[in-house]
Structure 1
Amino acid sequence: MNRRLGLVLLATVTSVLVQQQVLLRRPPRLIQLEPQHIHSGSAALDLRFSRPMQLETVRSESHLNPQLPHRWLGSNNQLRLVVDTNTAITQPLRLVVAGRDQRMHKMASQSWWWDPRPWLLVTRNINAGKQLQLQDRQGKWRPLSPIWAHFSAVVPLGNGRGVAMAVSDDSRVEQIWLQPLTPRNLAHKHNALAPPELQPLQQLVHDKLLFGHLSSNLNGDLLIQTGGFSPDSERTELIQANGKRHNLDLQSAGPMELLPAGGGLIVPSYNGLNLQPLLNKGRPVQSLPGNRELGAFCAASGRVVLIRHWPDYRRSIELVIAGFSPRQLWLGEQAVLGVACDGSGERIWAVLGQWTSNREQHTILLMDSQGTEMGRRLLTPWAMKGGTLLQFDPVSLRLLMTVTRPSQREAYPAFLDSASLQWQQILPVAIEEALWLNP
């Protein structure tokens, strides 16, 4: 009996050793490829291999076409490709991934097509209502939602896998919906690249709402602040990218915003802004006193651009760097209508509004991280629509805004060159607001 048991154990151990040797001799494989939205360059991809790789061999044997400046980072089986270019990316990129693992076993090269350019989203006026639409690469508009009477908030998920919407009917009762999307910006063949695929529409909150505020981070988490028609009906809920939902016990004096990298949020109080973690671990809350509002996140660096309102009705633009006091970049009497920054927080754009001779004029200003003015341009005869965003795209090096003319009610999507501040294109499509959707 003992001899038979010993033979069985020996056979099992031998089988495991043989399988282990077979696996060790197998060439490495690329098993996952996905966009990375927190990066300091123009665009980035995260790659996961079946085996720890030699970074130098991946760097020397892989190819990117067009041949744009790029870097390979990481270790073991988790690597990152960061594209660093000062020129706009206007077409899909072809990436050939190759290299050797730590045992010098060569992997079979793989060829991928990658389109890192964001998609243009607009809330468009359709049949006496509003509809969320996406523009494809050929300029065709594709509907992403039903037609509703009103959009009070449209927030693309930071990972590109959906768009959250706060909508209302003619009675102004709000609802919160999510249009899930499956990105198709990575493919083995060029003709397989396509706009994101629509999944079934989801209603996220079923109560009748008086208001709803939405915020998302680059991980794809979604924060929902809602209030109903009864006292004490305010709720704050976090829906993680994996679908798990958590009710948050947070007190706020206004809309909260998730930090781009995840794990925390900015909470307005009656005395300023608080930076606090999503989960209370007993750490003290970081507070910034004063009448400030969030302007923009500079995701790759963790920097934040704030707009401060002073008692004498002046405004200032501030850059907040972790561990330092806010750095004032600009101070003046003009209204600050919108701000944006690049990922590193080294370039900041602002749209300023002033009234002269009963006429409103808007100016776009480009500054560096020290507040030195690098460019300025009047937007006349156009003006930025109030309550909309100024957004920078590091891939195409363009600024996106929603513009109007003083004598017209219609608004249009507009693109500016981020360096020269010159108009590139104003699309002749009547909209409510234009936004970027990450690919």
Structure 2
Amino acid sequence: MKPLPLLMAAGLVLGLAQQQLLIRRPPRLVAIEPARTSSGAGALDLRFSRPMEGGSVGTSSRMSPALAHGWLGEGSQWRLLLSPGAILDKPIELQLGGRDRRQLTMAPQRWRWDPRPRMVAVVVVPGGEQLQLRHQDGSWQAVSEVWPSIPHLQVLGDGSGLVMATADGKGRLQVWRLAIQQSNLAPANLGLKAPLVGAAQRLSQSPLLFAHMSSNRQGELLLQSATELSGQAQTQIWAASGGRQELQVESSGAIQLVPQGGAMVVPHPEGLILMRLPGQPQRRQMLPGSRDLSSFCASGGRALLVRHRPDYSRSMELVEPGEAPRILWQGRQAVLGSACARGGERIWLLLMDGMGQPRLQLLALNRTAKILQRKQLNGWQLEPGTKMEFDASRNQLLLALKPITVRRREIKPIGNARSEIKAISIEPITFEGRQAARPALIDADRLTLRGLDKPIRRIQWLPAH
């Protein structure tokens, strides 16, 4: 057996050698993932093994195509943000580099990243309706079986899945969750892959009379429902991990989770209440008045509200933290939907007027209530129960619109009546005898519309995850 001093000396030498090896080891990229919060086209969070020298990550990294972007962070934590206005038509090729504070250089790494969301739609098919996912190449993939009807669809805000409410022939509802594993960020040598969709998991144990769903960027799901047996409304929140919790909250309408997480907007007969979720310090803030939540902005704490006034007019308001609601528009048209870029720098409103022949109008405004552009969507009507959504990565709006065919026919003159008198009939395009909508993509700057030839009932963006 070796003497104890010799063993201790050997251990000390080994420890010093390991320490010198670690000191001279170049920095490494430990973790990289899409950021959950971004007001632009996309963002990535990066973590390095060592504190990096300020500015070296940005100067040593490259992006193709060369999009405007910026770097935020310090030490070992950094974030890559695509600048507002960056438009994507293909995945991004990244070369990441940099040096740490010891002036040791990291070995370059190459990644592929696609922050563009995918469309997910309730598609009309022979025998009923089906959930389908649209890939970036324009192809569609079925992700559910065919049901008589799928009246409700909700994407999880973190892009990890879909939730749908299906109806049988008697109108009884069941709620299902489908997990989706996306591949929107991968080493360049592996490449990006098509999403993997798991088997449907039933969330409701008995038939429901109604169901409303909402989600946030944490992947949490809020479900309001009532069973046929009890008839009483209940509210549950499901964690991203799958745990469920009952919420004791009274509301006069549909509750919406705040995208950033930790809170919800609860309709009340006297106004809208901003309420913390369980596990957070309880705090309630009420905005009095007859208002409806229309949509959220990408920047935290900002939302668009529709206010109903005593003279039966309506106004669109921008709500920001610590400020009184700002009126952006006021009129007598019905507000069918809205969308917001960043913190309200650009806002879009979908309006409707007319009863027998509804007319749609799309407005683009800035945060000072100036109308930047106006577009009449002649020949279209909005699918009931759907909303307008904005995709910052391609600067476009998404709606479910029904095309209307206007046919004119001559009426034979009677007496002195002139032959140019005509009758007009409006006939929606149908699919298997039922009215069908189409996905409509609208350029957010020019407000030009492009419809896709796909019969749908619902459509939303699935965030890239």
Q: For the superposition of Structure 1 and Structure 2, which TM-score range results when normalised by the shorter chain?
A: over 0.9
* Number of the residue aligned with 1:343: 342
Q: Aligned residue for 2:290?
A: 291
Q: Is the 8 A contact 1:261 1:299 kept in 2?
A: no
Cα displacement string for residues 189-211 of structure 1 (whole angstroms, at most 9, x for unaligned residues): 38832332112322222232222
Instruction: Indicate the percent of aligned positions where both proteins have the same amino acid.
Output: 38
Partner of 2:220: 221
Closer, same or farther in 2 for the Cα pair 1:8/1:248, shift >3 Å? Answer: farther
Partner of residue 412, structure 1:
438
Partner residue in 1 for 2:365: 367
Aligned position for 2:423: none
Matching of residue 433 in structure 1 with residue 458 in structure 2: yes
CA deviation vs aligned residue, 1:258-296 (integer Å, no higher than 9, x gap): 111111111111111100110265544100111111111
Q: Secondary structure at the match of 1:58?
A: helix
Q: Deviations over 1:39-58 (max 9, x none)?
A: 23221111122222223110
Map of 2:143 onto structure 1:
144
Answer yes or no: is the 8 Å Cα contact 1:337–1:386 preserved in 2. no
Q: 1:17 to 1:305 in 2, by over 3 A?
A: farther
Shift of 1:121: 1.2
How far does residue 304 in structure 1 lie from its aligned partner after superposition? Answer: 0.3
Distance 2:461 2:262 in 1: 23
Q: Assess if the C-alpha contact under 8 Å between 1:95 and 1:112 holds in 2.
A: yes
Q: Which residue of 2 aligns with 1:422?
A: 448
- Equivalent pairs counted in the alignment come to 434
Where do 1:382-421 residues align within 5 Å?
382-406=380-404, 407-408=427-428, 409-421=435-447
Q: 1:376 corresponds to which residue? A: 374
Task: State the 1:230 CA deviation.
Answer: 3.5
Decide which moves more: 8-17 or 167-176.
Answer: 8-17
**Residue aligning to 2:412:** none
Residue ranges of structure 1 left out of the alignment (5+ in a row) = none
Aligned equivalents of 1:176, 1:41: Cα separation in 2? 32
Q: Secondary structure at the match of 1:23?
A: helix
Residues 194-233 of structure 1: matches in 2 within 5 Å? Answer: 194-231=193-230, 233=232
* Contact 2:276 2:283 (C-alpha < 8 Å) held by counterparts: no
Cα 1:230–1:41 change in 2 (3 A) is: same
Give the 5 Å matches for 1:122-271. 122-189=121-188, 192-231=191-230, 233-271=232-270
Asked whether the equivalents of residues 296 and 303 of structure 2 are also in contact (C-alpha less than 8 Å), the reply is: yes
Distance 1:85 1:292, change over 3 A: closer
Give the distance between the partners of 1:220 and 1:164, measured in 2 at CA: 11
Do 1:315 and 1:331's aligned partners in 2 also have CA atoms closer than 8 Å?
A: yes
Note the C-alpha offset of 1:92.
0.9
Q: CA 1:41 to 1:428, structure 2 compared with 1: closer, same or farther past 3 Å?
A: same
Amino acid at match of 1:40: S
From the superposition, tell whether residues 152 and 26 of structure 1 become closer, same or farther in structure 2 (CA, over 3 Å): same
For residues 325 and 31 of structure 1, do their structure 2 counterparts lie closer, same or farther at Cα, with a shift above 3 Å needed? same
Partner of 2:411: none
Structure-1 separation of matches of 2:377 and 2:437: 14
Q: Aligned pair in 2 of structure 1 residues 427, 281: CA closer, same or farther (>3 Å)?
A: closer
CA contact (8 A) 1:155 1:163 kept: yes
Contact preservation (8 Å) 2:260, 2:300: no
Q: Does 1:23 align with 2:48?
A: no
Is the 1:154–1:164 Cα contact (8 Å) retained in structure 2?
yes
Q: One-letter code of the match for 1:366? A: A
**CA deviation map 1:302-350 (0-9, x unaligned):** 2100111223321111100111111111111100011111122111101
Cross-structure match for 2:105: 106
> After alignment, is 182-191 or 82-91 more displaced?
182-191
Displacement of 1:101 after TM fit?
Answer: 1.9
With over 3 angstroms needed to count, the CA separation of the structure-2 counterparts of 1:100 and 1:360, relative to structure 1, is: same
- Could you say which structure has the larger radius of gyration? 2
Q: Structure 1 13/372 Cα, relative in aligned 2: closer, same or farther at 3 Å?
A: farther
Q: Is the 8 A contact 1:400 1:414 kept in 2?
A: yes
Distance of 1:35 and 1:282 partners within structure 2: 28
> More displaced, 326-335 or 205-214?
205-214
Three-state SS of the structure 1 residue aligned to 2:398 is: strand
Q: Which whole-Å CA distance do the structure 2 matches of 1:231 and 1:114 have between them?
A: 48
Q: Which amino acid aligns with 2:41?
A: S
TM-score normalized by the length of structure 2? 0.88
Aligned mates of 1:244, 1:385 — CA distance in 2: 34
| Cα pair 1:55 1:72 within 8 Å, conserved | no
Q: Is the 8 A contact 1:162 1:179 kept in 2?
A: yes
Structure 2 SS opposite 1:318: strand
Gapped regions of structure 2 (runs ≥ 5)? 405-426, 429-434
2:77 aligned with 1:78, yes or no? yes
CA gap of 1:201–1:49, structure 2 versus 1, over 3 A, is: farther
